[in-house]
Structure formats: C-alpha cells, structure tokens
Structure 1
C-alpha cells in the first residue's frame, strides 16, 4: 500500500470516530434550517451530481478522481493512479449528508470517507479530526463538473426506482428525485413486461427495479425517456434505499 493511499484511508477511516462536536446543520445555502439529528435525506438531492479532479499523490503523478453522488443515495467512486501499471480503484455504496458533511459509507475493505461541502458546492476531503486535508499544503478538493446533471439527455448510468407496466406503456419513478421517466421500446421490452408480470403482487402495482439505461430526450411528451440496456434487479416491494434508511431511524 502506498503512502498516499494510506494517507487517504487513514484520514477517512477515522472520520466516523471523529464526528464534529455539537449539532450539525442540514445542508442548505441559507441559515434558516433547524438542526437535525438524522441524516438530511431530502438534502441529498441538490448535492447529487458528478465531482472530479486530480488529487495529490506522493508516489505517482496524481489520482484522477471521479465521484458520482446519485439521487438514490448511492455513490460510485473511481480513482485512477496516474503513472502506475495497475492504477484503477473502484468503490461504491451508500452516501449520506449530515450538516455540511458528505459521508461515503464503507465499501468492502475500504473505510468510510468524509467531505465538507464548500460554498461553491465543491467537496473537500476531511482528515481524522474532521478538518480539511492539508498534507504538504496540497489541495484535496473535488469540483462539481459541468456535465453534472444526471438526468441530462445522453447520460448513461444505473437507475433505481418504482417501475410499472400497464397498457403496453412502461414508466419508472426514480428513487430520490421522484423524477418520472417513460421506458422507450427496445429489445428488452418483452423481457421487462414478462418479469414485471411475474414479480408484481397485484395488477398495476409498482415494483422496485434497478437498470442500466441511457436518458433519451423527450419526443412529443413532457417526460424524458430511458433506453434500458440491462435489467439488473427487480423485486416486488417498491421500497427505495432512502425509505429503508428512514424506517430504520424511526
């Protein structure tokens, strides 16, 4: 394990043990919100997007980092260690925001990682004490990208949501954003219909689905479409990750 990688892991792995003293405020651009003990589930939506930059590295040319915070409270993090023969580190899992701090929950052997939300909506990596990383006076900031709209036409990613198929028309309401997408007819249409019919409990009832899809511009409709490439998961109970978290906290 390299020094730089060890530094990031050490900084992030102790973050949960070094939670800030006092009560954190829910994420907002203003100061009118009241303090909250629980994760600000609805506050994750304005932070959803893509953050990227090249992070410092002591024994390589830099760590090209791309972090996607999805509306369904799941993240995808890809780190490419420039100049190495086996450079890519990939992790995914749930993310949450409490106060002005975004936490990427542990993934496999990788510990949790925490970032502070800056005024320009960039994310700064925090150390074990909850302060911004400043090793060797280098910048550990991820900046929101120009193509950060995860519902823009042409965006290809995983979608989770509540899926229904009725009268030869299929739709998906995305977890987290509650955005409704029509499902464009493709070669998977028959398979979607078959799996929905065998999975749903009652006629017309929504099911939970996770798919790999590309956003399609609306055509004669106010709703964007999704071109589904692969059905990753389908379950009878249409419960989103946020709803599971909220039920656990109550």
Structure 2
C-alpha cells in the first residue's frame, strides 16, 4: 500500500510508531515463509509427485496399504533374509525375519506403523532401530537406509512384494486383532480398529471367558471395551436364519481395558 506525505501527516505517524510497525512486519515475514514451505510439502500417500520426506500422516489413506509384504532381501553376513511384514489396519505391524545360514536366524518385532508422504515407518522395537520403506509404484515396499535413501547394492533388490491375493480377513486366517468388544442381549460383537470391520464371536474357543471378563471390565453394561486377541477367522450361521456371518474364534485373550481407544488414536511418538 502506498502512503503519500499528506497521508502520513493526516494520520500523524510518529517516527517511533513507524519503526514499530516496520519491525512487526519484518518479524512476521519468516513465519509466513515457513508456513508456505510446510504447506507445499504436506502430501499424503497417493497424492502429488513422489515424496520421500515423512512430513504428514496420511490418515485414512494408510488403509489401502494394509496387507502382507514378503521376499528374501540381501544380507551382508548371511545367505539372505527371508522377510514377512504384515501391516494391519489397526496401525500395528508384525515383522518376521529369518537370517538364512545363521545359528540363531529368527528375528520378530511388532509395534505401530505410519505412512507419511510415500514412506512407511515402523516404530522401533527393542534394540532394533526405526525402519522405513518407500512405497513403490507396484505397491511394493523398498527398504531405505539411515539417510532415508533407497538401499542400493549392485544387482541386488531390497524390495518386499505386496501379496495382493492375501486377505487379512479371509476364513482360516490366524493373527492378532485389536478392536472394540461389546456383549449385550446374549450377543457378542467385535469391531476391528482401523477397518471398522464387524465380527461375531464364535462360541468355540474362549468366547465364554470373554463374556465373563467383559462383565468385570466394562464401565457400564452394553458399552464397548478395548480388546486385543489372537484369533482365527471363521464363519457361522446367524440366529435368525441360514445366512452366515464372519466370526472370530478367540484362541488367546491378550488384553482387555475399559476404555475403547484404538492404537491409531494414541500413537507413540516416532524417532525422527
């Protein structure tokens, strides 16, 4: 905006007030530049150009990445690392590694995962450091080094292939499930965290024990509790007819808490 001398005289600006105004404008300029830079970098998974900078959680966009990734990747002091990575819709992962040729070959870790930009990050587990993968165009996951760059060794591939035919909810699948469990009017319902997929609880297994534990855990009758179980996906007939429904046969009760808060709602801070 242009101010004439007459304009300055009519508003009676003093030299001190002019200097104060200029200082405020100059101090605000770096903040505006920083905000513009941050807005330009925030690109959730699946949008914009390739972006390996882990800047912003993609939220619901992470759900399509849930699945199983597997392959044998190179190893400096063994014959290869047979790797199986399961990204679950509840923002938890399981990583199984077998170091071929070593006396004690197996490594297992679990924790939370996130996706920012085009990068999947696995929360550190035990003495294992943070691990990051770049999402490839074919939805494979390519291992990144400590600097966030793709691992590169002549003639060797560090990419885990997405097992597209694998359904984490297929009948017969055995894995951990986290979600909200409710028992009301002789019916038990489990809603999985992340996917909001509903399952009945099969009478076989630990269904009766779940019911008893729910009675002593929930804050109010008919209200959900948080539940983590090892279970097998099965199917059963509904009470009202011959229609079948998906159900979980609970093999082991791992955790039950009165507050039904899912892992993605209380993510642990990741190492930068």
Name the TM-score class by shorter chain: 0.7 to 0.9
Selected match of 2:255 from 212, 227, 233: 233
Q: What aligned pairs does 1:21-36 form with structure 2 within 5 A after superposition?
A: 23-28=41-46, 30-31=47-48
Give 1:91 shift: 0.9
SS of the aligned residue for 1:217 comes to strand
In structure 2, relative to structure 1, the CA distance for the partners of 1:140 and 1:210 (3 Å cut) is same
In structure 2, relative to structure 1, the CA distance for the partners of 1:37 and 1:101 (3 Å cut) is closer
Selected match of 2:94 from 76, 98, 102: 76
Is 1:245 paired with 2:234?
no
Q: Deviations over 1:205-229 (max 9, x none)?
A: 0000000101113544464111111
Q: Deviations over 1:18-58 (max 9, x none)?
A: xxxx7252112x549xxx95312212211111100000013
Moved more, 134-143 or 88-97: 134-143
CA RMSD of aligned residues (A): 2.1
Maintained 8 Å contact 2:202/2:236: no
Number of matched residues? 222
Return the alpha-carbon distance in structure 2 between the equivalents of residues 50 and 123 of structure 1: 11
Structure with the larger RCO, 1 or 2 (CA within 8 Å, 6+ apart): 1
**TM-score normalized with structure 2 length:** 0.77
Q: What aligned pairs does 1:169-180 form with structure 2 within 5 A after superposition?
A: 169-180=187-198
Q: What aligned pairs does 1:36-75 form with structure 2 within 5 A after superposition?
A: 38-75=56-93
Specify every segment of 5 or more residues in structure 1 that has no aligned partner in the other structure, as ranges: 1-21
Moved more, 189-198 or 231-240: 189-198
Return the alpha-carbon distance in structure 2 between the equivalents of residues 149 and 212 of structure 1: 17
- Counterpart of 1:188 in structure 2 is 206
Q: Which consecutive segments of 4 or more residues in structure 1 shift more than 6 A?
A: none
- Pair member with larger Rg: 2
Selected match of 1:139 from 157, 178, 185: 157
Give 1:245 shift: 3.4
Moved more, 174-183 or 120-129: 120-129
Return the alpha-carbon distance in structure 2 between the equivalents of residues 240 and 100 of structure 1: 24
Return the alpha-carbon distance in structure 2 between the equivalents of residues 125 and 159 of structure 1: 26
